[in-house]
Amino acid sequence: MPELKTIGLFILTALAEIVGCYLPYLWLREGKTIWLLVPAALSLAAFAWLLTLHPTASGRVYAAYGGVYIFMAVLWLWVVDGIRPTTWDIIGSSVALLGMAIIMFAPRSA
């Protein structure tokens, strides 16, 4: 099913971006080792590469990816930061995912 592949790819892409940004955050804000920048750079490189694996126009991929990123960031808030999402976080994430689905899966003329 191509839709599940697309969503799975977006989830991996979001994780790569979030990890790539979270590791420098740990260094800058939490006083962790500067060596975290090495896996952060690798993670951000993986993020960029993963975005190229979608078989549609880059602008459409970037626009739709934003919806999945929002969902994954709220999930990160809960799982990693230990902060339970509010009803508004969940509603906002749902709207963002709906936007992603419309952008990526709407019928298109050739």
First to last CA, the chain: 20
What's the rounded mean pLDDT across residues 80-86? 97
Q: What is the mean pLDDT of residues 69-89?
A: 97
pLDDT digits (tens, 9 = 90+) for 17-55: 999 999 999 999 999 999 999 999 999 999 999 999 988
* Residue 58 maps to a domain: yes
Going by the DSSP 8-state scheme, the letter that residue 34 receives in this structure is G
Residue 28 located in a structural domain: yes
Residue 110 is assigned to a structural domain of this protein:
no
Average pLDDT value for residue range 2-18: 93
Structural domain for 34, as ranges: 2-105
| pLDDT band with cut points at 50, 70 and 90 for residue 110 | low
pLDDT of 56 above 90: no
Q: How many CB atoms lie within 10 A of CB 13?
A: 23
Is the per-residue pLDDT at 1 higher than 80? no
Kindly report the average pLDDT of the chain as a whole number. Answer: 94
pLDDT score of 3: 85
Provide the pLDDT for residue 44: 98
Domain count, the chain: 1
Q: Is position 99 within any domain?
A: yes
